[in-house]
Structure 1
Amino acid sequence: MTETVIDQLLARAAAAEEAHKWIEAVALYEVALVRSPDHVPAMLGAAAAARANGDHARAVVFLTRADRTAPGRADISSALGEALTATSRLPEAAVAFERARAAKPLDAGLAARLGAARLAAGDAAGAVSAFEAALRLDPAEPRALGGLGSALAAAGRPLAAIEAFRRVGEPRPRADRAAALLALGDMAGGFADLDALAGRPVWATRLQAWDGFPLDRPLLVWAGSDPLDLAAFAPALPLARSLVADLVLVVPKPFVRLASALAGVSRVVADNGDIGEVIDEAGAAASLVGLPHRLGLTAGSFASTGPLLAVEPMLADRWSARLDLGRGRPAVGLVWGSGIGLADFTPLAGIGDLRFIALERLPSAMLARSSSPSGWEVAGASVRIEHPGPDFEAGIDARVDCASLISRLDAVIAIEGMPLRLAGLLGRPGVALLPAVANWIWRIEGSKTPVYPSLSLLRQVPEGALAALLPEAIQRVRGMVRG
């Protein structure tokens, strides 16, 4: 087929694009590629039409082909990075943007796009480097100005992050800025941002926003869908309850039973239920994450003075009997993942003075029959890790089994997550295995947090493995159970 015919096909494809006939355009470009397999403009045209049609995965195929056919072209690598980002292939997107920047090292926009890709892929330090490079090339590069603060916050550099946010002069509340402020101890600023960011349910618009002053009618407090927030902001509930006639907590249905056992809560209702009667009785409403701001809490006052969660005695007795707890060796709950795998527990194999019990519901393929009291253990582990059984956490009420079991354990060793926070709410001893950049409730340094004072904190060192903290965690747990 002659070049003239190829040009005609490309012209027809362009006309189809003009008419928003994306599928027809892709088909015409493909016909051209059958006849001229190395025709890069046809590949780029097909990719653009596919992306316009929402088919980003197909665009990746065309752009990958173009990138291999004409390596070293920044426009192709950049377009591939955008398409990979749209398909959530974030590490690959960052690599594509790195190739684009290598081809055009003086392009500030490409450096900024690389920073955004690295940040989305979880490489916060790499994102900081790319954003800073972009700003050296162009101090006004908008994407770099907007992203540097977020990257610095994610990299565990909250002070530098706040300075970056201030330089931009962004007046809107931001979740990453809130996290940085809280990590630095600026509770007023951080809680104000979180309060402003909290979404307001339609039903809450019927009530006035609570101003933190005494209220002689019930206060409705709504929680979001993240149970970690429910655990993190629980210390504010008793303080709010002391100022109002009643405190009604509105939560997603799976957490009604657990939330009903939180201190300071008079009543709990599901957010998908009929709460019209409750609204009629209430005098004001507030978000759970907004309570600390409404109450004017500071680093000193946002602290737990005792257990904030109770468990159902019969349920606790059930799991205690199932695992034969309270007799013999101390029982330690384990939670792994996100940096710690089963293979990392090999050093624990020679420990005979402690029992280890998994605190997560696991798929049947990960469970094996055993001679342990419950009859179950985690399959494939180098150390015996007992498991409560397939019916653990199997009900519709989330985390009530886990909380009940933790209440009868001697201690826990856990990565960041709901079981760890449940141990903190219950006031149970334990060791938190924290990544180098942790959530604000764990602060940026120190071995204790006022939010969960019963927990001892171990922090991952830069470039170190989270699993390397396990030997020290075992030593701290031994001190807890012997004390």
Structure 2
Amino acid sequence: MTETVVDQLMARAAAAEAAHKWIEAIALYEVALARSPDHVPAMQGAAAAARANGDHARAVVFLTRADRTAPGRADIAIALGEALAATSRLVEAAAAFERARAAKPLDATLAVRLGVARLAAGDADGAVSAFEAALRLDPAEPRALGGLGSALVAAGRPLAAVEAFRRTGVSRPHADRAAALLALGDMAGGFADLDAVAARPAWTARLPSWSGDPLDGPLLVSTGMDPLDLVTFASTLPLARSLVPDLGLVAPKPFVRLASALAGVGHVAADNEDVGNWIEAAAATAPLSGLPHRLGLTAGSFTPSGPLLAAEPMLVERWSARLDLGRGRPAIGLVWGNSLKLDDLAPLAGIGDLRFIALERLSATLLVRSSTPSGWEIAGSPIRIEHPGPDFEAGVDARVDCAALLSRLDAVIAIDGLPLRLAGALGRPGVALLASAANWLWRLEGDKTPVYPSLSLLRQKPEGQLSALLPEAVRRVRDMVRS
């Protein structure tokens, strides 16, 4: 009798799915599971309905149960990997795809999925291995070749990456190929690829494309959706501005305040506003990441003549007062991101002559009340790291609080990312903790970059850890503070 009832529930759930009644379908599958707890098709059906309804976290619960009930099934592991990836649980997603591949070792497309998952999880070497395995199974698998190129870039092997992209037989530009070319010193090729792949809003079709020659009218530059690009290419704006009577930026609304403080910018508009009047006044347009190509720049051309960014005075005073900066021990900004764990900061323990202040955006659950000037510090850290508080960077405007706080800190120690590049754009002293596969901005060797001359560079050893760089980073910031 129970089997008949379960079959009926399964049929009703399938009918609800066909009618896109996802919540009803999930409820019916759950009733079926209550009657038959080990019914794997009901778990799979509930997971599929949950994902169709956008509830990937609930799908993970059903699929984890199915994976435990019927271990070794590739179809379940694949579905679980996809659901985990959709909830940004990338390391677990890669592990699920590994289990799926163990069940189907001769499936090239599954090896590609594993490579994509490992790359998204930050395991560049593991991604290279997976893509190479896919190519051994199917040498013509195009996604494996393209994925291999991207993984090799992330693994710090740009020459091999360029060769992998060449083997795809596709000549169109690619952002990761651009990164590989730039890392190899091919600025012309790399910047040309960046220009070609840059996003171009619909309104740009109404204006001529700027060639890099002097203009009689204003230039309108679109910034794209990545604030990192905004800061990375900030030094091209004064160079472009020298060739035109005026330069305007069209940026996503959260970037407008930050963009308005960049050198060389005449005016800024949000990209969700009507830019019709701007277009009528402009003579040409260009994407921000395309400016290096159009200006014919090399890495050395990025040397700024002064700070590229100015912090907002009212915010500077706010955060300076909140953290009681400018008196007592030097205050050092600290950014560890996903490259370091809190425990990795242990080499900084016992340093009493410096204050460490986190520049990370963190929720109140990761903070604890303390006797620090702001009243907050990082929970569970092996060293005392002060924090500006839960309202730091809580607004919609990208990183204006961070820029203001950076402008009053004595120095910064940070992994590569937006806070570090903001420090460089502000001309603030600091030490960059660079992974072995570093962005072209930092060059392949040396402890300085012309792009951000105020920063000192420390590079991860091939087999070393980023945390091993911390004692030398402290020594350098002490020298900066003394000077």
Aligned to 1:471: 471
Question: Which deviations, in whole Å up to 9, do the C-alpha atoms of 1:422-462 show, x marking residues without a partner?
Answer: 22112222101223333332234332222112111122334
Separation in 1 of the partners of 2:34 and 2:321? 70
Aligned to 1:407: 407
Q: Which stretch shows the higher mean deviation, 345-354 or 260-269? A: 345-354
Measured after TM superposition, the shift of residue 64 of structure 1 is: 4.2
- Per the alignment, in what secondary structure is the counterpart of residue 289 of structure 1? helix
Aligned to 1:437: 437
Separation in 1 of the partners of 2:130 and 2:359? 40
Aligned to 2:106: 106
CA contact (8 A) 1:263 1:309 kept: yes
Question: Which deviations, in whole Å up to 9, do the C-alpha atoms of 1:52-94 show, x marking residues without a partner?
Answer: 6766556555554544444334444344434444454433332
Separation in 2 of the partners of 1:314 and 1:307? 19
- Please state if 1:225 is matched with 2:236: no
TM-score, normalization by structure 1 = 0.84
CA contact (8 A) 1:10 1:42 kept: no
- 2:192 counterpart letter in structure 1: A
Aligned to 2:267: 267
Q: Which stretch shows the higher mean deviation, 236-245 or 263-272? A: 263-272
Instruction: List gaps (5 residues or longer) in structure 2.
Output: none
- 2:288 counterpart letter in structure 1: L
Aligned to 1:244: 244
Aligned to 2:278: 278
Separation in 1 of the partners of 2:45 and 2:262? 58
Separation in 2 of the partners of 1:473 and 1:198? 35
Measured after TM superposition, the shift of residue 119 of structure 1 is: 2.2
Question: Which deviations, in whole Å up to 9, do the C-alpha atoms of 1:167-199 show, x marking residues without a partner?
Answer: 002233222222222222222222222222222
CA contact (8 A) 1:247 1:264 kept: yes
- 1:207 counterpart letter in structure 2: L
Residues 25 and 459 (structure 1), Cα distance of their counterparts in 2 relative to 1, 3 Å cut: same
- 2:242 counterpart letter in structure 1: S
Measured after TM superposition, the shift of residue 42 of structure 1 is: 6.3
Residues 114 and 375 (structure 1), Cα distance of their counterparts in 2 relative to 1, 3 Å cut: closer
Residues 331 and 89 (structure 1), Cα distance of their counterparts in 2 relative to 1, 3 Å cut: closer
Separation in 1 of the partners of 2:56 and 2:362? 34
CA contact (8 A) 1:12 1:28 kept: no
Separation in 2 of the partners of 1:30 and 1:319? 52
Measured after TM superposition, the shift of residue 205 of structure 1 is: 2.4
- Per the alignment, in what secondary structure is the counterpart of residue 458 of structure 2? strand
CA contact (8 A) 2:64 2:80 kept: yes
Aligned to 1:378: 377
Residues 421 and 120 (structure 1), Cα distance of their counterparts in 2 relative to 1, 3 Å cut: closer
Residues 383 and 147 (structure 1), Cα distance of their counterparts in 2 relative to 1, 3 Å cut: closer
Q: Give the total of aligned pairs.
A: 480
- Per the alignment, in what secondary structure is the counterpart of residue 300 of structure 1? helix
- 2:479 counterpart letter in structure 1: G
Residues 364 and 145 (structure 1), Cα distance of their counterparts in 2 relative to 1, 3 Å cut: closer
TM-score, normalization by structure 2 = 0.84
- Taking only the aligned residue pairs, the percentage that are identical comes to 76
Aligned to 1:95: 95
CA contact (8 A) 2:2 2:35 kept: no
- Per the alignment, in what secondary structure is the counterpart of residue 300 of structure 2? coil
- Rg larger in 1 or in 2? 1
Question: Which deviations, in whole Å up to 9, do the C-alpha atoms of 1:404-436 show, x marking residues without a partner?
Answer: 443343322122232211221122221012233
Separation in 1 of the partners of 2:31 and 2:141? 40
Measured after TM superposition, the shift of residue 220 of structure 1 is: 0.8
Measured after TM superposition, the shift of residue 209 of structure 1 is: 1.3
Residues 273 and 98 (structure 1), Cα distance of their counterparts in 2 relative to 1, 3 Å cut: closer
- Runs (4+) of structure 1 exceeding 6 A deviation are 24-36, 52-55
Q: Which stretch shows the higher mean deviation, 78-87 or 317-326? A: 317-326
Measured after TM superposition, the shift of residue 135 of structure 1 is: 1.3
Trace 1:76-475 onto structure 2 (pairs within 5 A): 76-311=76-311, 316=316, 325-326=325-326, 329-360=329-360, 363=363, 366=367, 368=369, 370=371, 374=373, 376=375, 378=377, 380=379, 383-386=383-386, 398-462=398-462, 464-475=464-475
Residues 85 and 6 (structure 1), Cα distance of their counterparts in 2 relative to 1, 3 Å cut: farther
Residues 323 and 68 (structure 1), Cα distance of their counterparts in 2 relative to 1, 3 Å cut: closer
Separation in 2 of the partners of 1:95 and 1:391? 36
